[in-house]
Structure 1
Amino acid sequence: MRSRLTKNIHTVLERWFPERRLFLRSDSETRFIRLKSETQLIAWIGCTVVVAWTIVATAILLMDSIGAGNFRAQAQRDQMTYEQRLNALSSERDTRAQEAAAAQERFNSALRQISIMQSELLATEEKRRELETGLDVVQSTLRDTMKAREEARAQVATLTEEVDPDAVAAISEEAVGTVDLLANALAETAAERDLIAADAEFAISHAQEVELELRLLQERNDQIFRQLEEAMLVSVEPLDDMFRAAGMNPESMIDQVRRGYSGQGGPLTPIQFSTRGGQPDPDALRANAILSSMDRINLYRIAAEKAPFDIPVKANFRFTSGFGQRWGRLHAGTDFAGPIGTPIYATADGRVVHAGWSSGYGRLIKIQHDFGIETRYAHLSAMNVTVGQRVSRGERIGDMGNSGRSTGPHLHYEVRVGGEPVNPMIYIRAGQDVF
């Protein structure tokens, strides 16, 4: 039964693949190779499989090429979008910087005016005290003179009543001299009274002028204080928003900066005005509030240098991968792509705690900052810092490269708070909204 089936199959194959012989001739003999129908069938199937595989592979390559072209076009569009966004952010940052510089100039000018007005106010206060003292002396002298005049009038009236008209002719030369002396004394007293009264009127009118000057000075001081308070409000609020946007508590951060403050001059000293034991001067309270805002801005400036609000790449670059899940794993930073050798800068003041090779990261720099923040700069081609070195915000620490597990030249930038990775763009965007 099996032999019959084999024969039937061979007969069918003979129709399509008849037996062939391949002759091989040499100088001395001739040989041939017999190609059975089964052999030809196997060869045909093999050739068909190879041709089919070639067609399928060619189609796959063509589809990949078309898809890669679309991907490159999409990547170019994304790059243009990133560059436009970066240019807009740069323009906005420059505008904010100009506004901050103008506000600082206005603040410095107002501070100089406050210093001048404070000196004028102290001089006016001293002059007013002198006038008050002089007026008290004039009033006391005037009271004594009027009292002496009344006593002299009473004495004249008493003498007049005691003199008998019939005995006037018998008044001696001595009595006449006494009366003349009293009359002269009364005339001198009256003249002195008139002079004192004129001095008193002049002092009163001058005191009114001084009071008017003081009122005008107070209005001018009030206007200056309002301008300073507005300038402080405009300067402090964006800084508050910047630190809150970065997830930092401004109050606790300022307390930490104040505890570790080592700058020259120390905190600003409150202004003290003499109140003579009365209630605090409103101007002193307003001035001290402005000084408190100035101190807060100074502490914010110190904190901004210690937190990574700057961007690590200043030259042209493109964002290739952001913070978040990628291929089922957490991508713990942001990638900035650019040519090999692009300068890399520290984003805040800090101390280098690692500068060497790290598996996956390649050449890696770690910088420890205040507030429990650490920044990482990976895949570098060169490193310009050593472990233990202090670096400042904006200082060049290395060059962009392609070391470690990397698909192309780029910087992998991380920000970690308390050891946990956070999105670096939170700090970069917060800093670009202010600086």
Structure 2
Amino acid sequence: MTGRFLHRIDMALGRYLPEQRLFLRTDHSTRFLRLSPKTQLLGLAGGATVMAWAMLSTAIVLMDQVGAGNLRDQAKREQALYDGRINALALERDQAAEEAAAARARFEMAMSEVSRMQSELLSSEERNRELETGMDVLQKGLRKTMAERDAARARTRELAATLADQPGGEIAEGPRAVDAQEILAFLTGALEETADERDTANANANAALELAEALAYEHDLVAERNDQIFTSLEEALTVSVVPLEKMFKSAGLSPDRLIDRVRQGYVGMGGPLVQISASTKGDYSPSADELRAHALLERMDELNLYRIAAEKLPFAQPVKSAYRFTSPFGERRHPITGTRSMHEGVDFASSHGTPIHATADGVVVKAGWQSGYGRLVTIRHEFGLETRYAHMSKIRVSEGQRVSRGDRIGDMGSTGQSTGTHLHYEVRVDGKPVNPMTYIKAARDVF
């Protein structure tokens, strides 16, 4: 029954794939191979499968290359946006500091004006008290004078009545009454002038107090805005510094020691000598905003030192194109001799001629052939580090040349002791090989 079923299948396939015969002729005989419809179908299916697998693999490789390029471009754009944001925040901080200084100067000027007006008001009140005391004395003297005038008038009337009975008798009003009236008019005018000056001084003092309150409110607004700007800067610096510190610690490096060594290499200072005038008001004590701004500047300097250190350490990947990780760091069976040996680096396999890039800033100390390594490039970096790039097909740098992180230094090949096209990459610290993936993995979330 199975044979009949297979025969039916052959008959059905024969309509589309008729039986074929392949003749093989030699000098003495002739043979032929019979290609049944089932055999042809299996061959076509196998070919289609291989074709689909090749297309799928090519698509995956292309997608990986496009995706890696997009991620690098996105990281560069984010870095540029972050740098622009930091510069904008620094500019806002400087503008806010200038506004705060101007507001502080206006506030101090207003306070000095208020102090001057208060002094004038106190002087005016003191003069008013003196004038009031003088007025009391004058009023007492005036009352006494008026009483004496009334008595003199009464006496004058009596005398006038007495003299009226006598022929040719006239009496003039005494001069003391006229003097008293003049004194009274002078005192009244002085009191009115003093009252006007006092009212004017009070109005000026009230206006100065209102101005001082307005300036104080403006100063508070500027201080609040400064606090917001300082807070944004502090948060931005924290977000930037913490990943770098974590990256260095993950690589087994001390951030403090790295910063000290970088700072020792960047200590250049200078400028013309300009004498400054000493203040006569005593020692100057910086404000809270100035202390905070100084702390931010120190934090920004620390971030810059971290970036310099990151540029000088091999945190980048030597191969930016699509690759296959073929051999890790550590003990392994040698692919050529078959014996157990120490693999002092890592291997990245890709196509022939794939660009190889420097993983950190440094100086090329070796660019040529070396037994076992084939075509080799060795770069010396800061802090006693060294990187090696072996089995190259072409070297694009020369000894003594200074390179930067990301510079192309050669092409991938299979020179020296190698079973195929790949890059053998090493990292050495003070001549001792260490696992390069420690640095690459530590920087994976940063760069």
- TM-score, normalised on structure 2? 0.72
Post-superposition CA distance 1:144-172 (Å, at most 9, x none) = 11111111121121122223334336435
Tell me the secondary structure at the aligned position of residue 253 of structure 1: helix
Whole-angstrom CA distance in 2 between matches of 1:362 and 1:262? 41
* Alignment match, 1:386: 398
Pick closer, same or farther for the CA change 1:260–1:78 going to 2, 3 Å: farther
Q: Give matches, 1:246-325, under 5 Å.
A: 246-261=251-266, 277=283, 280-325=286-331
Is the 8 Å Cα contact of residues 61 and 322 (structure 2) preserved in structure 1?
no
Task: Decide which of 115, 119, 129 is 2:98's aligned counterpart.
Answer: 119
Whole-angstrom CA distance in 1 between matches of 2:186 and 2:295? 68
Pick closer, same or farther for the CA change 1:340–1:92 going to 2, 3 Å: closer
* Alignment match, 1:155: 134
Q: Give matches, 1:295-374, under 5 Å.
A: 295-327=301-333, 328-374=340-386
* Aligned-pair CA distance for 1:139: 1.0
* Alignment match, 2:120: 141
* Alignment match, 1:59: none
Is the 8 Å Cα contact of residues 378 and 386 (structure 2) preserved in structure 1?
yes
Is the counterpart of residue 239 in structure 1 residue 244 in structure 2?
Answer: yes
Q: Give matches, 1:17-166, under 5 Å.
A: 97-162=76-141, 163-166=144-147
Alignment-mate amino acid for residue 306 of structure 2:
Y
Is the counterpart of residue 189 in structure 1 residue 187 in structure 2?
Answer: no
Is the counterpart of residue 419 in structure 1 residue 425 in structure 2?
Answer: no
Tell me the secondary structure at the aligned position of residue 397 of structure 1: strand
Post-superposition CA distance 1:26-75 (Å, at most 9, x none) = xxxxxxxxxxxxxxxxxxxxxxxxxxxxxxxxxxxxxxxxxxxxxxxxxx
* Aligned-pair CA distance for 1:416: 0.6
Is the 8 Å Cα contact of residues 145 and 180 (structure 2) preserved in structure 1?
no
Pick closer, same or farther for the CA change 1:237–1:119 going to 2, 3 Å: same
Whole-angstrom CA distance in 1 between matches of 2:383 and 2:228? 39
For structure 2, the 5+ residue unaligned runs are: 1-55, 154-173, 272-278, 334-339
Alignment-mate amino acid for residue 193 of structure 2:
E
Whole-angstrom CA distance in 1 between matches of 2:266 and 2:321? 34
For structure 1, the 5+ residue unaligned runs are: 1-76, 267-273
- TM-score, normalised on structure 1? 0.74
Whole-angstrom CA distance in 1 between matches of 2:361 and 2:268? 15
Please identify, of 276-285 and 215-224, the stretch whose mean Cα deviation from structure 2 is larger. Answer: 276-285
Pick closer, same or farther for the CA change 1:326–1:382 going to 2, 3 Å: same
Alignment-mate amino acid for residue 84 of structure 2:
E
Pick closer, same or farther for the CA change 1:237–1:123 going to 2, 3 Å: same
* Aligned-pair CA distance for 1:285: 2.4
Whole-angstrom CA distance in 2 between matches of 1:153 and 1:263? 73
Task: Give the fraction of aligned pairs with identical amino acids, expressed as a percent.
Answer: 47
Is the 8 Å Cα contact of residues 96 and 433 (structure 1) preserved in structure 2?
no
Tell me the secondary structure at the aligned position of residue 213 of structure 2: helix
Whole-angstrom CA distance in 2 between matches of 1:316 and 1:236? 30
Task: Give RMSD over aligned pairs.
Answer: 3.0
* Aligned-pair CA distance for 1:115: 0.9
Tell me the secondary structure at the aligned position of residue 412 of structure 1: strand
Count of aligned positions? 353
Whole-angstrom CA distance in 1 between matches of 2:119 and 2:323? 85
* Alignment match, 1:433: 445
Whole-angstrom CA distance in 1 between matches of 2:384 and 2:65? 29
Pick closer, same or farther for the CA change 1:175–1:164 going to 2, 3 Å: closer
